[in-house]
Structures are given as C-alpha cells and as structure tokens.
Amino acid sequence: MDRSIERALGVQRVLEPAGVLPQAAIRLDADPSVGPDEVRIAVERLNLDAASFRQLSEACGGDGDAVRAAVLEIIEARGKMQNPVTGSGGMLIGVVDAVGPESPLGLVPGQRVATLVSLSLTPLRITDGLARWNGRSEQVPATGSAILFGRSIAAVLPDDLPDMVSLALLDVCGAPAATARVVERSGARSVTVLGAAGKSGSLSLAAARAAGATALTGVVRTAAEAAALTAAGLADRVVVADATDPLAVAAAVGQPGDVTVVCVDAQGAEHGAVLATAEGGTVVFFSMATSFSAAALGAEGMAADVTMLIGNGYTPGHAAMALELYRRNQGVRALIDPRVRPTGPHDPRVHA
C-alpha cells in the first residue's frame, strides 16, 4: 500500500504485531512527538465506552481504585485505552497543542476538540496517574497526550454545551445517525430500541422520530427507567424487559417492528433483538457487547430473515446530528443529563 495512506491510517505507530492497523495492534507507540501529518492533543478528559466500563467495574467488583489501576495498566501496556475483553475504547476531549505541517485535518493549536475516532486506536500517554478520577464513572479527568492521524476525525467542541455533555453525546453519535439512515432508506415506521433510556438509546428514539418513524417502542430494564422514559415522551410505548432474556423481550414487545436498535451495554441482547424484529426488518447492533456469532447463528437458528447491521461509529454528519437532537429535545436532555452532569460539589463526576 502507498506509504502516505499507511501513515494516514497510523501504521507508523504500531509496535506489535507488525503489519496490522492501529485498532488491531496489541501495542502502539504513544510518543508525544508528532510526525509530519499527525496532531497532538493535550488530554483533558476520557470517556470510556459504556460496555468497557461496565466490564471493568464488574471484574473489579465495583472497587473504584482497582478500576483506575486496571485502566492505567491497560494504557501503559498498550499505548492506547482498548479494553482487552470488550475490544472497545471510547473517546476523549482536549486541546490541540501540536499540528504536523502536512496534517490534513485543518486543526489549529488552541482549539478544544473531541476525538471522533475510538480510543482503541488512539496513541495515548497519561501523565497524572488519573489521580482526579475515583474509578466510578465513565468520564475520566486525565492529563496526558494523544495522537491523531491523517485520517482521524475530530470535532471542535461547541461553546453552548458543557464538556461532559458534549463528550457523552459525541461518544455515541453513531447510533442516532445509523438509526436515521436505516429508517430513511427503508421507510420503516415501527422502531424498537433496547436500552432506550440510555444515552445512545434516547438519541436513537429521537432520531427515528425525526426520520419519519411513527410507532416507537422503548425497552428498558427497570420500572424507574420506564417512568423516566415515559415522562421524557420519546417513545409511543415503553415496556420493561431484561434485554438479555429473548423470550421476555419478545413477550414485552409483542408485534415485531420494522427496525430494532440495540443500545444496551450488556452482553446477550442478540436473540431478543432478532425476535423483536419483523421478517424482512433490520437490526442495528450499536452495542459493543454484541457477539457476531450469537447474532448470526441466533438469526439462522430462528430462521429469521432479518438484515443485521453493525452500528458503525462513523456516519457523515453524525456529530452535528447528535448535538442538535440534544439541543432540540427536552426528552433527550431529561434522560441524558442525569447520567453525565455533575449533581453537586461532591459528585465523583465533577471535573476537579
């Protein structure tokens, strides 16, 4: 392959094994010196992918210090924040502080940006030991450096939203964009969202509505989430079921819908999603906890003629769409804000 394309993809940063792209690498070179087409970001805050954070928390028995130590160990060992179990990363915000002369990204030093490429392929060095993080939230105040390649993407942070909100929205902005695209292209009218009261779930409901869907069902796990989603007014129908229990999902959803969007952060939602989808319909697996084999073999085993899409984190215009859905939708704000906004000076999510 052309050397300049290899560089744009970040191949020069791969230490091990040779010949793979950064996402598949076991270890990256996180040296903060920038190459001619690279950009360095002074890191302010990481947003760990929800599936990764849940896995780490569960593996550490909810012990925040152990979670912090595990995250530091991963970054130290791999030169990037890629959870070895889920394979997923997250993204970060920070300030552009060095731009190589041949960088095509159009960024200038001093700009505050969010990276829209996964932490699972972003060279990352942490210099503060994550001392301001208690290991109990997906958002991690951090100091260090990260490197963007020629083909990376980043969004300049909007002035009108708090960083914590922008970071959370931009982390999951692929979900509403993918949902809107499927609804628009297929002319789907009924859309079911699993994990509907979460960040990507609530945005996907709002995106489906804006794209023309008229029968929206939100599946949530608890009565409290059902009450919150009902009050938010994003779904026409709210049902309670454990997304990892396929028969419970099928019973709760009833008549299968045209499109199902999987936005839970737990493993085992594949079969319920297939059962919730009508013949000829589409399942969008946005969740990073999705198993390809469970989805493919499950659909085959149920003789279900459904199209299954992997929720690509990137769709053109995805960042602007998520920010706009948040700005315009009181219901989206009502569900997302309590998950990301600090509630007081002692809240662990406050940026110290």
- Give least dist CB 89 to ligand NAP, A: 9
| Long-range contacts, 312-316 (Cβ 8 Å, 24+) | 312/174, 312/178, 313/116, 313/118, 313/174, 314/116, 314/153, 314/174, 315/174, 315/177, 315/178, 315/181
As to burial, measured by CB atoms within 10 angstroms (0-12 exposed, 13-18 middle, 19+ buried), residue 293 is exposed
- Give least dist CB 297 to ligand NAP, A: 20
Contact positions toward ligand NAP, by CB under 6 A? 49-51, 88, 171-172, 174, 195, 197-201, 220-222, 225, 242-244, 263-266, 286-289, 311, 313, 339
- Give least dist CB 192 to ligand NAP, A: 12
- Give least dist CB 219 to ligand NAP, A: 6
- Give least dist CB 286 to ligand NAP, A: 5
- Give least dist CB 217 to ligand NAP, A: 13
Helices and strands: H and E segment counts in the chain: 12, 14
- Give least dist CB 226 to ligand NAP, A: 11
Task: Identify the CA nearest to 340 among candidates 330, 331, 349, 332.
Answer: 349
| The two three-digit tokens of residue 39, written as one number | 């950009």
In terms of CB distance, is 12 or 291 closer to ligand NAP?
Answer: 291
As to burial, measured by CB atoms within 10 angstroms (0-12 exposed, 13-18 middle, 19+ buried), residue 79 is buried
- Give least dist CB 258 to ligand NAP, A: 21
Distance CA 291, CA 287 (A): 9
In terms of CB distance, is 188 or 243 closer to ligand NAP?
Answer: 243
**Side-chain-facing half-sphere of 323: CA atoms under 13 Å:** 18
In terms of CB distance, is 79 or 201 closer to ligand NAP?
Answer: 201
In terms of CB distance, is 226 or 304 closer to ligand NAP?
Answer: 226
Residues found in the chain: 352
- Give least dist CB 240 to ligand NAP, A: 8
In terms of CB distance, is 133 or 286 closer to ligand NAP?
Answer: 286
| The two three-digit tokens of residue 310, written as one number | 């992997």
- Residue labelled with tokens 């999987």: 262
In terms of CB distance, is 9 or 264 closer to ligand NAP?
Answer: 264
In terms of CB distance, is 200 or 282 closer to ligand NAP?
Answer: 200
In terms of CB distance, is 139 or 190 closer to ligand NAP?
Answer: 139
In terms of CB distance, is 99 or 177 closer to ligand NAP?
Answer: 177
Distance CA 190, CA 26 (A): 42
**Side-chain-facing half-sphere of 32: CA atoms under 13 Å:** 12
The CB-nearest residue to ligand NAP is 198
Q: Are 122 and 10 in contact (CB under 8 A)?
A: no
DSSP result, 246-306: HHHHHHHH-SPEEEEEE--SSS--HHHHHHTEEEEEEEEE--TT--HHHHHHHHHHTT---
